[in-house]
Amino acid sequence: MDCDEEPGPVRRKRVATAPLIGALVVIGLVLVGAWSVARGSRESTGFPRRVPPAGEVTAQPVVLRSTPAPTSTPDASPPTPPTPPRSRQPVSRSSVLRPRPTQLPRPTPTPPPTPSGSAEAREVLRLTNTERATAGCRPLRLTSALDRAAQGHASDIVEHHYFEYDSEDGRTPADRMRAAGFAGDSTAENLAAGSRAAADAVDAWMSNGVDRGNLLNCSFTTLGVGYDSGRIRSRWDNGTWVVDLGR
């Protein structure tokens, strides 16, 4: 170039700024992404979080517990009704059980009275009533008061070895019956000794006129029997019988 040329106007070169801005944006995005990753990794590894200072109110999450809705499944059977809630009130029997109708008891026939006394007394009663039925008299029944009187006299005559209607102390058969509790107005007594069988004693009485008349007296209604297996006299066999009758 020649030095004598005239200088022209100076022009500034334009610098391309668009590529530079784009590069800065890309770098910024990369930095933001790296910061987010670093933060997430710090929270997941259990680094301590920020503790709010005293007085600062933080919002607590609200936890709701709900029962999932039942899913309907096709079923041909009818739905089961819900179970009623259990009552806490005390349950009385009257509120649970219905009273049953009252049934009147059926009348039962009254059984005939069972004769009391010992086996010997019942056998004498049976044999005597058989004889009375033949004579047309009503049957006798055993009475505890006459049983006591007859048994007492049977034991007494065996112990003291006498065979009489009156006791050795002077008491008559009627006295002994009243003392035993009998309140009847008529009494009679039969004695038998030397046999252990009731049939032998009844046969002996039926063979004697006075004793037979006592057994077949239709006015008498009650009977008492006493028996002692002892012996009154040495020449007699064992077995002593006393029968007291009354009305």
pLDDT digits (tens, 9 = 90+) for 83-94: 555 544 333 332
CA distance 188 to 246: 7
Pairing between β-strand 222-228 and β-strand 187-193 as defined by DSSP bridges: unpaired
**pLDDT on residue 145:** 97
- pLDDT at residue 19, rounded to an integer: 65
Q: How far is Cα 102 from Cα 184, in angstroms, rounded to an integer?
A: 46
Q: What is the pLDDT of residue 26?
A: 72
Task: Quote the pLDDT of residue 50.
Answer: 52
Q: Which amino acid is at 207?
A: S
Q: Report the Cα 217 to chain-centroid distance in Å.
A: 56
Q: Read off the tokens for 70.
A: 């039942």
Helices (H) and strands (E) in the chain, counts: 7, 4
The answer to whether the CB of 218 falls within 8 A of the CB of 137 is yes
Residue 246: strand pairing partners: 187, 222
Partners of 187 in the β-ladder: 246
Q: Which residues of the chain have pLDDT under 70?
A: 1-20, 32-117
Q: Are 160 and 237 in contact (CB under 8 A)?
A: no
What is the pTM for the complete model shown?
A: 0.54
Task: Output the pLDDT for position 21.
Answer: 74
Q: What angle do CA 117, 119, 123 make, to 5 degrees?
A: 100
Question: Position 69: which residue type?
Answer: A
Per DSSP, the residues of 48-102 read PPPPPPTT---PPPPP---PPPPPP---SSPPPPPPPPPP-SPPPHHHHSPPPPP
Q: Are 171 and 187 in contact (CB under 8 A)?
A: no
- pLDDT for the residue numbered 204: 96
pLDDT given at position 31: 75
Specify the pLDDT at position 168.
Answer: 96
Which amino acid is present at 148?
A: R
pLDDT of residue 24: 78
